[in-house]
Structure formats: C-alpha cells, structure tokens
C-alpha cells in the first residue's frame, strides 16, 4: 500500500493532467449538436430581426404584415414592402421559403449614411462597380463576411442596404451581384 501511495505521489501531476483532459473531452461531447448547428454566424447583419438564411416567409409576414406585392423571378419569390420612397419598395427575396436577401431602400428620411454604417461595421473591404452603367456614380460597398452591403456614393449618400447570409466575396457576387465587378466598366464605343 505504501508503495502504491508513493508511486501516486510521484506521478500526481501526470494523473491530474489526465483527469483534466478526460473531463474536457466529456464536457465537449455533451454539448448538444442542435445548439452548434443553430448558432447564427457572429457579425451577420439583419433587418428588423429578419435574418437572411434563417428567417422564413411566415416570420417576415408576422413581423411586417402582408406584402404590397409578391413576384417570382428565376424561381425565387420576392415580397415587396413599403419603404420611405414612394416609388421603390423594400424587397425580400426567398428561396425554399427562407429569406436569402433583403434590399432596404433608403431615403434622406431614414438618416442612414455611409458614416453610420462604417461606425457599426468598419470600413468596407470591397468596392464593386456596376458593369451595366459606365456613368454610374454609385458603388456597391460590401462586407461579405458580415452579411451586409450598401449602394452608395463617395459623398456618404446611401440609397440601398443589402442584407444576406455571411459569405465570401466570390459567392456574394455570383449569387447577389452578378452585374458588379471589382473593376471599372469598360466604356463601349459608338
């Protein structure tokens, strides 16, 4: 018995480390898988608690009421809601009954400027150019990893804010902004 006790005391540090490691493994395995799967990406933007990639059509209607108009474009359902602009509505694009993109229309009344967005999200890592208009003075400023972009002017004016599930730049451009590029558009000759 003495020999066993002296051996234990001699290796108590090793035994203590083994106990801690085994406890850590057991605790890690007991975290429910559902909790790991439903955790939204940190830093993802949302519009009025509507989270792209997570919120359903029913949630949109429960929070905002019935849409002004419903359309279908390229197998995607689009719900239109009143914005502060009398001419252009907010658009909620759904795929498989889940919101994938929200386009918030912004007017001066909304008091949203690029400075306000930069204070919240930092400097936009990407500036995209509309390839359909050589003379456009508005650019798409994108935070793909944060799930937000805005269509704005260098002077700070913002006309749209886009909310989407966080992704990388290539996927964002392919899925939501196919007419935009990191390069200036090439002027077509007449």
Q: 168 and 81, same structural domain?
A: yes
Q: 65 and 17, same structural domain?
A: no
* CB within 8 Å of 100: residues ≥ 6 apart: 52, 53, 76, 93, 94, 164, 165, 175
State residue 61's pLDDT score: 97
Q: 67 and 23, same structural domain?
A: no
Q: 145 and 80, same structural domain?
A: yes
| Residue 121 resides in a domain | yes
| Residue 164 resides in a domain | yes
DSSP conformation class of 110: G
Q: Among 34-43, 50-59, 128-137, which stretch is predicted with the lowest mean pLDDT?
A: 34-43
End-to-end CA distance of the chain: 99
Q: Once rounded to an integer, what is the mean pLDDT over residues 179-190?
A: 77
**d(Cα 151, Cα 105) in Å, to the nearest integer?**
10
Q: Count how many domains the chain has.
A: 2
State residue 184's pLDDT score: 84
pLDDT confidence tier of residue 189, bands split at 50, 70 and 90: low
**d(Cα 6, Cα 123) in Å, to the nearest integer?**
62
Q: Once rounded to an integer, what is the mean pLDDT over residues 116-121?
A: 95
Domain with 104 in it: 57-181
- Residue 149, class by beta-carbon neighbours within 10 Å (0-12 exposed, 13-18 middle, 19+ buried)? buried
Judge whether 168 and 145 are in contact, CB under 8 Å. Answer: yes
Q: 146 and 93, same structural domain?
A: yes
The answer to whether residue 107 scores a pLDDT higher than 60 is: yes
Q: 107 and 170, same structural domain?
A: yes
Task: Dig out the tokens for 121 from the structure.
Answer: 């999200």
State residue 2's pLDDT score: 57
| Residue 112 resides in a domain | yes
90, β-bridge pairs: 81
Q: 68 and 126, same structural domain?
A: yes
The answer to whether residue 5 scores a pLDDT higher than 90 is: no
State residue 6's pLDDT score: 57
What is the overall mean pLDDT for the chain? 82
| Residue 86 resides in a domain | yes
**d(Cα 12, Cα 10) in Å, to the nearest integer?**
6
């Amino acid at each position: 018995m003495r020999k066993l006790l002296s051996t234990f005391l001699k290796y108590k540090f090793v035994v203590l480390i083994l106990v801690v490691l085994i406890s850590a493994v057991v605790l890690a395995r007991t975290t429910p898988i559902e909790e790991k799967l439903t955790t939204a990406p940190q830093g993802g933007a949302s519009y009025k608690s509507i989270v792209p990639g997570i919120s359903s059509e029913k949630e949109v209607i429960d929070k905002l009421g019935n849409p002004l108009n419903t359309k279908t474009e390229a197998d995607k359902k689009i719900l239109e809601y009143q914005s502060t602009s009398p001419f252009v509505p907010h658009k909620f694009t759904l795929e498989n009954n889940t919101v994938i993109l929200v386009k918030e229309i912004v007017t001066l009344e909304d008091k949203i400027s690029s400075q306000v967005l930069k204070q919240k999200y930092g400097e936009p890592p990407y500036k995209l150019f509309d390839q359909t208009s050589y003379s456009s003075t508005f650019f798409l400023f994108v935070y793909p990893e944060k799930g937000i972009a805005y269509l704005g002017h260098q002077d700070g004016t913002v006309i749209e804010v886009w909310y989407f599930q966080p992704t990388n730049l290539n996927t964002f451009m392919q899925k939501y902004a196919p007419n935009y590029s990191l390069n200036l558009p090439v002027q077509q000759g007449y």
